[in-house]
Structure 1
C-alpha cells in the first residue's frame, strides 16, 4: 500500500488507496470490504473533535457527498 486517505464518519467510511505490485505497477481506487493487509500497515487516524463529518445528497452529482459542519 502506497497511500490511504479518506474520511471516517458515524455512518461509515469513504477511503481511497493506492497499491503497487512487485513490479512497481500502481493501482488505485476505493477501499472495499475484504481488503487484506498481508504484512504490516502503520495507520494514523486524526480526530477533529470540533467538526462533524456526514454524507448528504447532492442534487448536482446525484451522490451522497461529504458535508463538514461545526459541532454544536
Structure 2
C-alpha cells in the first residue's frame, strides 16, 4: 500500500507504544509504532469511523497482548 505517510496522535508521547495510521483510498492501515515489522491491520473507512466513535464513547475497552 503506497498511501500517505504514517501518522500518530498528537496525544502520543512519541514512545514505542504509539499507534500509527495512514489512509489510502478507501482503506486505513494501523500498526504498532514501536514494532512496525509485525505488520498492519487494514480497515475500511466505515470500520475506521466506527472504531473512532467507539473509542470516543469509551466503548473500545482495552487490549492486552
Same-fold call, TM > 0.5? Answer: no
Q: TM-score, normalised on structure 1?
A: 0.28
Q: TM-score, normalised on structure 2?
A: 0.30
More strand by share: 1
Larger radius of gyration between Structure 1 and Structure 2:
1
